[in-house]
Structures are given as C-alpha cells and as structure tokens.
C-alpha cells in the first residue's frame, strides 16, 4: 500500500508541476521583491541640468522604486571632481548599484574598480570609457554620426552642391570623435559628397554660431551641416537664419529627444534629429539592475554592452509622443506622490 | 572738488607708454589682418568682415563693462553668471506668460540689485573685488540654477516673435549687434572722457587714496561701476538670447570670462587701473575677432585656438610688464 501511496503522491506532484494550479508556491514575485527591497541605486550623471539626466532620473527612478528599492541622485553639475567625490561617497554608503555618466575615457576608471571591489554594481551610461564595468548602456556614437550624415545626404539631395559642413564638439570627447568617425564612414560610400570645413564649437552655442557663420560665409553653396549636439545646433541654426539660408541648408543634429528637440524640428530650426531613446535606454538600465541583483553574480563577474537603437526623425515624422517630456514626467511624479 | 585744471590734465602721466602697448596690439591686429587678406580666400570680403565683427560684438560689449571696472582698479568676475542667470530667468518668466515689458523690468531690477551688492561688498564691506565678485557670481549661479531654473537651458517661448526677430535685425546689411557694440562703446567713451564721473573713475584707478582725500565720493562711484558692469552683462545676454532663441546657463563653465579679461588686458587697459579707455577695448576686441575668424577659416582645432589665444595674452602681459614696470611709486596696495 505504501508503494501505491508513494506512486500516487508522485503522480500528484507531476500533475501539479505540469499544470500551475492553485496553491503553487511561485518563487518569482518574492525573488523580484527581495532583489531590490531596501537597497539603493544611485544615479551620478554629469549634470542634472541636462535633459538626458532628467530623463534617466525619472524613468530609472520610477522602475527602481516600483521594485521596492530606494533611488538617489547626485548632481556634480559638470564638475568631474565633484562626480569623483560622489562616487567615493557612494562607495562608503554601499548602495546595490551606481549608474554613472562618465565624463571622459579615463577619469573614473579606478573608482569604478574600487566600487566593484566594495560589492557595488557599476553601470555606465551614455559616454563610453576605457574601463569595462558591469555594463555599459548608451548610444553608439559612431552610429549616431552615420545616421546624421545619412540624413544630411538625403536632405541635400543628388542635385545639390554636395558640400557639407560639420560643427564638431571638441577633439577630446569620445562622443565627438566617434560621431566624426561615423560621418566619415558614410562619406566613404558617397565619395561625391565633400566636407568643406569641420570647426569645433567646444560645446558652446555662441561659438557654434560664430564658426558656422564663418563656414557659411566661406562656403555659401554648402547644402547641409551636421552639428554634433542639439544645444550647439541652436547656434548653428542662428547662423543659418542670419545668412538667410533657412530651408537651403539642411541641419542635422543629435539630442536627448526631449520635447524641446521636437519643438526645434517643428519650428524648422533643425531639419533632422537623431535622438537618444531615453525611455527605452532607461528601461535597459533598470532591467539590467534587476537582473544583476537576482542573478547571483558578483560585481565584475560579467560585462554587458547594450547599445540603444537610434533613428532619424524629421518634421514629417513628428507625432504626439515622438519626444518625451520633462514636464509630463514631473506631473506624473507629482501625481504619484499624492 | 578737483579743479578744472586737474580734470583736463590726463590722469595717465605715463600716457606715452600706454599708447605704446595699444600701438603694439594695433599693429599686430593690422599685420594679421593683412596676412589673412592675402593668404585666406574670402577673408577680405565685406560680408566676412561683418561676420568677423558680429562674432566678437557680444564679447566687446562685455569687455566695455569690464574695462570700466578695471580702469577704476576693480574687477568683476560675476558678469557671466549675471548674464546667464538674469536672461535665463527672464525667458523663464516669459514662459510663465509674463509680458515682455514686465519680465524685462523684473530682471532688470534684479540685475541692478546684483550689481549694487557687488559694489557694496567692494566699496563698503571693503572685500577685495576679485573675491567679492567671485563669490557673488557663484552665488547668483547657484541660487538661479537651484531655486529658479529647472534645467541648464531655457528656451524662448514661441510667441515672442518680436524678441526673436531682434536677433536677425539688420540696418544697411549690418546686424544690429554691431550697432549695439559700437553705440555702447561710443556712449562709454563719452562718459569716461567727458563727464566728471568718468574722470573720477580714472583718478580712483590711478591713486585711490589721493582720489578719496581730494573729496571724490569714491564709494558711490564704485557701486555705480559694478551696476554698469552688471547692466552690460544683461544687455549682452539679451542680445545673445535674441539670436540663439534660448539661454544655456552652462556658459558659466565656459572660457567666456577669461576671454573678456583677455580683451581688456590685451587692449592695454592695465589691471592696476587708471589706464586706457574704450579705444583699447575696441582694439583688443578686433584683434581677438581677426584671430578667431582667421583660425576658423583655417579650420584650426579648438585646442590649438586656445593655445594661440593664450600665447597672445601672455605676450600682452609680458609687454605690459616691460612697458609699465612696477616700482615703489606705482606698486600700490590693492593691486591684483
């Protein structure tokens, strides 16, 4: 009889196992909750004044809090040393993970290693660095440059002067150097297109305006300009307006895809935008945090790179929701706090 | 009150020497101009000259304000912060549906108060200008960004079409910015050269103790100088916003402040005060404008542009040291 009983029990277990029935113990929700419960994630962008940082803080913050974690933000306000201090402080307070926007290739590499040794997962966003931490999530800046070049080549058209200008950021940041490389990659396939000048804006809109004015003055037949950042594109656009070339010079740029960017497209200030998909990029980051904390991996065990898919947006593509909005996010946060 | 005789007697006893530095810079500017005209395609075209001057008009306006302060032996390191925060706040008010006149009036009042605080700190609290304005600039930026503004960039609202059109305004094919620069320069020239107040500033820069002993109201004049400097920053900021349709407060982190001081010093207004005038600012501005334009046409990367600009500043400072050597007579307390 005992044998039959065991068999029946075994069959019961089999059946129960095969068909998720009532009363089954699912480890999922508990594991999910445990992974982040009471743990802290700290975001350290280059500056909170930046649209990207506002977006990350909202989307990653919401996801972390929803999973039971605590979310904090440090604002180095464009100061690399202040950022290093924020990472050092974070190492002391032992959060579960830090999400850092690296300012350059080198500065934070040693700190990342120390954070990992202290048991903190390090996720780098947006700007690549020389140190491969647990994960990098961001744009492939070379792809961005390729898309901008493609947009300008299409905007100029086959019957244009085929002369284009570049307003670069600087000669130091990977984001600028990689965009330049991307533009060159595309131009290899379009040998009839020619870069007539490629001055630096040093990421300043007024400088961008002045160098773009000189560029247009020197090459009045230029048919398109790639500006490496939406903030400086404001200056380049001012130079195009002042030269009376609106509609004659196609301006492509890259940005965070915030509502202000869509406004620039709407007002014909810029003609094409290669935007960072901040909501989905943030989702990649928060998913990675959730995975790493459930996986049993230790900081430094694995390395992951996730490149955010980018696309070209022009005025004709604009729809409500094409851009995300800091204002809407703030309203959502205020509503959630009630 | 100083007698008429001492008013007409130029405050710069070493007038010959300061003309020498200005002449050096002017000759340098002319030399680069001629070389660029010969070797650079399209440099000499009228439209490029307009582009060149327009490119440095804002810098020139800021340098006029700084020049007035430096002649009175002060320095104002808060101008870029005041420029950025005041105009960003004005745009923010416009975004909150304030009318242009009321937004303008509110920010203008704020700017005058800020300049007044700078002047008060220097004149009455007797804090050295370099520290007072460094601190107040950081304060303005800090309070502006943390309390009043939500992001680095504030955009001009779409309905301000008149304001935006100002950025493209032209008379006889020349952008309004250039008229502003020359107009403000001319007014400042008249004020410094022909008004009692202007002469007071020279006296104070040349010998502060003597100026006070002879009965010049030195403290109110100092306050006024910093208010003028803050107003220049605001005017430059408004012109900038009209052209760019936005204000990016990140400009505070740029090298603009050093460029302003560069223009003042390179033009030959000695940092020890009492020397030079608006003509020096114009010469300094044009030299920088010609340099920047030529380097941009040559597509010289930004890092090298900085190097070249810095080399010119060093040469100007060394030349200033040779031409106006410091001795027991000229070396005075309060020198920067």
Q: What are the boundaries of each domain within chain B?
A: 11-323
Do the chains contact at A217 and B54, CB–CB below 8 Å? no
Whole-model pTM?
A: 0.84
**A259 at B interface, C-beta within 8 A:** no
In contact, B265 and B320? CB cutoff 8 Å = yes
Number of helical (H) and strand (E) elements in chain B, helices listed first: 14, 4
What are the backbone dihedrals phi and psi of residue A266, each rounded to the nearest 5 degrees, phi first?
Answer: -60, -40
Nearest-neighbour CA in chain B from A55: distance (Å): 12
Lowest mean pLDDT: which of A17-26, A266-275, B251-260? A17-26
Angle at which helix B176-194 crosses helix B196-206, to 10 degrees, equals: 80
Encoded tokens for B49: 């000259």
CB–CB of A214 and B254 under 8 A?
no
Least confident of A94-103, A201-210, B228-237, B317-326: B317-326
B293 neighbourhood in chain A, CB within 8 Å: 214
Mutate to test the interface with A, among B153, B237, B294 (most CBs of A within 10 A): B153
Distance from B127 to chain A by nearest Cα, in Å?
27
Per-residue pLDDT at B40 exceeds 90: no
Query: Which residues of chain B neighbour A269 with C-beta distances below 8 Å?
Result: 245
**Beta-strand runs (E) in chain A:** 40-44, 70-73, 97-101, 121-125, 135-138, 163-167, 194-197, 224-227, 250-255, 272-275, 304-307, 311-314
pLDDT at A296 over 80: yes
Between residues B313 and B292, which one has the greater pLDDT? B292
Q: How far apart are CA B250 and CA B7, in angstroms?
A: 44
CB-CB: which of A197, A205, A238 is closest to B299?
A197
pLDDT for res B274: 81
Domains A28-139+278-307 and A141-275 share a fold: yes
Are the Cβ atoms of B244 and A234 closer than 8 angstroms?
Answer: yes
Asked if A336 reaches chain B (Cβ–Cβ under 8 Å), the answer is: no
Out of B41, B58, B250, name the one closest to residue A78 (CB).
Answer: B250
User: Using 50, 70 and 90 to split pLDDT, how confident is the model at A288?
Assistant: very high
Nearest chain B residue to A195 by CA: give it.
B299
- Summarize the confidence of residues B259-273 as an average pLDDT: 84
Answer yes or no: is pLDDT of A17 > 90: no
CA distance B336 to B333: 9
Contact map slice: A 26-85 vs B, CB within 8 A: 47, 49-51, 54, 77-78
Residue B3's pLDDT band, with cuts at 50, 70 and 90, is very low
Contact, B266 vs B280, CB < 8 A? no
Strand-pairing partners, residue A254, are: A274
Q: Where are the domains of chain A?
A: 28-139+278-307, 141-275
A6 interfaces chain B, CB cutoff of 8 Å: no
**Contact between B301 and A200 using a beta-carbon 8 Å cutoff:** yes
Q: Which residues contact A135 (CB under 8 A, 6 or more apart)?
A: A121, A122, A123, A124, A288, A292, A303, A304, A305, A306
**pLDDT of A20:** 52
> Which are the contacts of B219, defined by CB distance < 8 A and separation ≥ 6?
B123, B124
User: What tens digit of pLDDT does each residue of A26-53 get?
Assistant: 888 888 888 889 899 999 999 998 899 9
CA distance A83 to A89: 10
**Per-residue model confidence as pLDDT tens digits over B192-247:** 999 999 999 998 888 888 888 898 898 999 999 999 999 999 999 999 999 999 99
Per-residue pLDDT at B27 exceeds 90: no
Cα-Cα-Cα-Cα torsion A206, A212, A216, A218, nearest 10 degrees, comes to 100
Pairing of strands B246-248, A250-255: unpaired
Who's near A171: CB < 8 A, 6+ residues apart? A177, A200, B301, B302, B303
Tokens representing A95 are 């959060």
Mean pLDDT throughout A218-224?
93
Residue B143, token pair as written in the block: 């309070």
SS3 A252: strand
Q: What SS3 class is residue B3?
A: coil
Chain B residues in contact with A80 (beta carbon < 8 A)? none
DSSP string, B195-236: SHHHHHHHHHHH-HHHHHHTT--HHHHHHHHHHHHHHHHHHH
Over residues A267-281, the mean pLDDT reads 93
Q: What is the DSSP letter of B157?
A: P
d(CA B20, CA B26): 10
Residue that is written with structure tokens 């002042």 in the block: A242
Q: Say if residues A225 and A250 touch (Cβ distance below 8 Å).
A: yes
Please report the DSSP string for B76-98 in residue order: -TTHHHHHHHHHHHHHHHHHTT-
- Helix (H) / strand (E) containing B154: strand B153-155
CA dihedral B187, B191, B192, B194 (to 10 degrees): 120
CA separation (Å) from B144 to A239, A255, B138? 29, 24, 10
Are B276 and B176 spatial neighbours (Cβ–Cβ below 8 Å)? no
Q: Which residue has the tokens 């440095």?
A: B56
Given CA atoms A32, A34, A38, A42 in this order, what sign does their dihedral have?
negative
- Interface-testing mutation among B245, B289, B294, with chain A (most A C-beta atoms within 10 A): B245
Looking at domain B11-323, its CATH class is mainly alpha
Predicted confidence (pLDDT) at residue A6 exceeds the cutoff of 80: no
- With 0-12 / 13-18 / 19 or more C-beta atoms within 10 angstroms meaning exposed / middle / buried, residue B47 is middle
B115 HSE (CA, 13 A, CB side): 28
pLDDT-derived band at B87 (thresholds 50, 70, 90) equals very high
Q: How far is CA B230 from CA A87, B62, B116, in A?
A: 37, 9, 9
- CB-based contact A41:A72 (threshold 8 Å): yes
What torsion do the CA atoms of B27, B32, B38, B44 make, to the nearest 10 degrees?
-90
pLDDT tens, residue by residue, A153-204 = 999 999 899 999 999 998 888 889 999 999 999 999 999 999 999 999 988 8
Q: Around A5, how many Cα atoms within 13 Å sit in the side-chain half-sphere?
A: 2
Which class in CATH covers the domain with range A141-275?
Answer: alpha beta
Q: Hey, are the CB atoms on B51 and A217 less than 8 Å from each other? A: yes
Determine the distance in angstroms separating the CA of B176 from the nearest CA of chain A, rounded to an integer: 11
pLDDT computed for residue B4 by the predictor: 39
Residues A164, A169: Cα–Cα separation, whole Å? 16
How far is it, in rounded angstroms, from Cα B110 to Cα A68?
Answer: 45
Cα distance from A26 to chain B (closest Cα, Å)? 44
Q: Are B133 and B76 in contact (CB under 8 A)?
A: yes
CATH of domain A28-139+278-307: 3.40.50.2300
């Amino acid at each position: 009889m005992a044998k039959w009983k065991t068999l029946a029990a075994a069959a019961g277990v089999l059946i129960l196992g095969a068909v998720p029935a009532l009363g089954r113990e699912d480890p999922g929700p508990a594991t999910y909750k445990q992974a982040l419960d009471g743990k802290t994630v700290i975001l350290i962008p280059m500056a909170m004044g930046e649209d990207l940082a506002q977006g990350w803080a909202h989307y990653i913050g919401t996801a972390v809090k929803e999973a039971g974690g605590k979310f904090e933000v440090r604002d180095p306000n464009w100061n690399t040393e202040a950022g290093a201090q924020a990472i050092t402080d974070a190492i002391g307070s032992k959060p579960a993970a830090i999400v850092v926007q690296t300012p350059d290739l080198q500065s934070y590499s040693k700190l990342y290693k120390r954070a990992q040794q202290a048991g903190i997962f390090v996720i780098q966003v947006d700007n690549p660095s020389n140190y491969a931490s647990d994960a990098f999530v961001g744009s492939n800046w070379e792809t961005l440059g390729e898309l901008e070049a493609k947009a300008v080549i299409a905007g100029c058209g086959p019957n244009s002067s085929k002369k284009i200008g570049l307003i670069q950021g600087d000669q130091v940041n990977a984001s600028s150097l990689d965009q330049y490389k991307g533009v060159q990659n595309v131009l290899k396939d379009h040998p009839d297109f020619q870069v007539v000048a490629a001055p630096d804006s040093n990421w300043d809109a007024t400088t961008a305006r002045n160098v773009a004015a000189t560029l247009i003055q020197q090459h009045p037949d230029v048919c398109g300009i790639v500006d490496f950042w939406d903030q400086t594109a404001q200056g380049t656009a001012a130079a195009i307006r002042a030269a009376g070339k609106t509609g004659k010079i196609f301006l492509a740029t890259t940005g965070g895809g915030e509502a202000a960017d869509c406004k620039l497209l709407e007002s014909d200030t810029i003609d094409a935008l290669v935007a960072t998909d901040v909501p989905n990029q943030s989702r990649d980051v928060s998913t990675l945090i959730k995975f790493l904390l459930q996986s049993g991996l230790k900081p430094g065990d694995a390395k992951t790179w996730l490149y955010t898919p980018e696309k070209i947006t022009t005025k004709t593509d604009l729809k409500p929701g094409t851009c995300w909005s800091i204002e809407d996010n703030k309203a959502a946060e205020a509503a959630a706090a009630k | 009150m100083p007698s008429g005789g001492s008013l007409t007697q130029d405050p710069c006893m070493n007038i010959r020497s300061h003309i020498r530095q200005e002449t050096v810079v002017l000759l340098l500017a002319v030399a680069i101009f001629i070389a660029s005209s010969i070797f650079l395609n399209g440099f000499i075209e009228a439209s490029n000259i307009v582009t060149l001057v327009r490119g440095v008009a804002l810098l020139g306006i800021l340098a006029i304000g700084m020049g007035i302060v430096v002649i009175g032996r002060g320095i104002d390191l808060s101008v870029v912060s005041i420029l950025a925060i005041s105009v960003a706040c004005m745009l923010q008010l416009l975004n909150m549906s304030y009318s242009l006149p009321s937004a303008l009036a509110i920010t203008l009042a704020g700017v005058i108060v800020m300049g007044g605080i700078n002047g008060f700190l220097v004149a009455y609290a007797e804090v050295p200008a370099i520290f007072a304005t460094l601190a107040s600039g950081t304060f303005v930026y800090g309070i502006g960004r943390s309390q009043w503004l939500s992001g680095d960039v504030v955009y001009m609202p779409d309905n301000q079409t008149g304001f935006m059109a100002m950025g493209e305004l032209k008379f006889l094919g020349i952008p309004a910015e250039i008229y502003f620069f020359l107009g403000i320069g001319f007014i400042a020239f008249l004020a410094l050269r022909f008004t009692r107040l202007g002469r007071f500033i020279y006296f104070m820069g040349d010998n502060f103790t003597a100026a006070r002993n002879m009965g010049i109201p030195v403290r109110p004049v100092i306050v006024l100088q910093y208010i003028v400097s803050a107003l220049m920053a605001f005017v430059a900021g408004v012109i900038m916003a009209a052209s760019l349709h936005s204000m990016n407060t990140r400009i505070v982190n740029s090298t603009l402040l050093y460029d302003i001081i560069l223009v003042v010093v390179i033009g030959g207004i000695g940092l020890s005060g009492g020397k030079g005038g608006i003509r020096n600012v114009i010469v300094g501005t044009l030299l920088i404008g010609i340099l920047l334009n030529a380097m941009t046409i040559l597509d010289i990367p930004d890092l090298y542009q900085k190097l070249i600009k810095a080399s010119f500043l060093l040469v100007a400072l060394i030349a200033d040291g040779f031409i106006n050597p410091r001795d027991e007579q000229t070396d005075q307390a309060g020198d920067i």
